[in-house]
Amino acid sequence: MNLKQLRYFAEVARCGSQTSAAQRLNVSQPALGLQIRELEADLGVRLFHRRSRGMELTAAGKELLGRTDRVLRQMEEMRQAMRAFAEVPRRRLSLGTPPTPGKLLVPPLLRALASQEAVTLALHEGLSSDLAAHIRSGDLDLALTYDPVPDATRPSAVLAHDDLILVGPPGRLGGGEEAVSFRALGAFPMVMDSPKQITRRLLDKMAHQENVELQVVLEVDSVNLKREVILSQGCFAIVPRGLFVEALTEGRFAWAPIADPCITRTLYLMARRALPEEDFALILETLSPIVADYIRSAEVNWRRP
């Protein structure tokens, strides 16, 4: 049992549903449900009745809610009391991120850093290749990047492997039950990233190696425009599942895993050469459990490095 589980439990109890609680907490519903199940397993009791109209507290859940509210109030009182002793100003760090890790990792990262009161982040979104260039020039302190060029002179750490999926119009692929082989991708009309994108270069390289000719009908870098083209033109796209997770859950798109071989990108945290070690360690240690939650939930096709 830990404070995160208690906070999640209290929010579900107040909202009466995991969906509403997940939205208020800005976390994924599978990750929230996993924490609730682990809390119930640890305590050895059921905390909720799962009904079609929502989540209702059991007798044990009502007892725990009262105790949880007292614990959370005490934690906030302690935090407020200790702020009076904080004399060290927050350090400002600039962090660059591509869209997918920005969407998935930045909100929980900001919440975690707010409670630690050690640093404040200035956020920048961009392509992995551009972010890596900003790291090399020293314009950014840190960046989440996919498959950067190896550089032993700069701090870096692997966070996760991200297996891409094939998405298309509803009813055309199913809901992830059956994989599509890489060699079969040539049969699908594709909307793809422009060649400057790391993912596009990876796909072109793999297609050449596998002797597969991809049908590129349109090049689009914008995620929102790509979604519209898929639905309006009957096209398909190879994307990270994390960018489409809500739309896939709602059935707005069909999807399939890609196999033989998988298309995998590796997500790194990297830093400029002169960044203090404690700053890199703080961000890495804060991100690691967030990434681990996504890997355990199997929601976004991330794997352990």
The CATH code of the domain that includes 277 is: 3.40.190.10
Q: Are residues 169 and 258 in the same domain?
A: yes
The region, left, alpha or beta by phi > 0 then psi within -120 to 50, assigned to residue 58 is: beta
Kindly state whether residues 28 and 114 are assigned to the same domain. Answer: no
The verdict on pTM exceeding 0.75 is: no
Q: Which domain holds residue 11?
A: 3-83
Question: Is residue 124 located within the same domain as residue 155?
Answer: yes
pLDDT of residue 87: 59
Looking at the 3D structure of the chain, how many domains does it have?
A: 3
CA gap 14, 108 in Å, rounded: 21
What pairing do the DSSP bridges indicate for beta strands 264-271 and 142-146?
antiparallel
Q: Same structural domain for residues 289 and 150?
A: yes
Looking at the fold, whether 157 and 276 belong to one and the same domain comes out as yes
The whole-number pLDDT of residue 171 equals 87
- Domain check: are 112 and 71 in the same one? no
Q: Using 50 as the pLDDT threshold, list the residues of the chain that sit under it.
A: none
What pLDDT, on a 0 to 100 scale, did the predictor assign at position 86? 63
Asked if residue 58 and residue 174 are part of one domain, the reply reads no
Same domain, 215 and 276: no
**Last-in-domain residue among 54, 83, 112:** 83
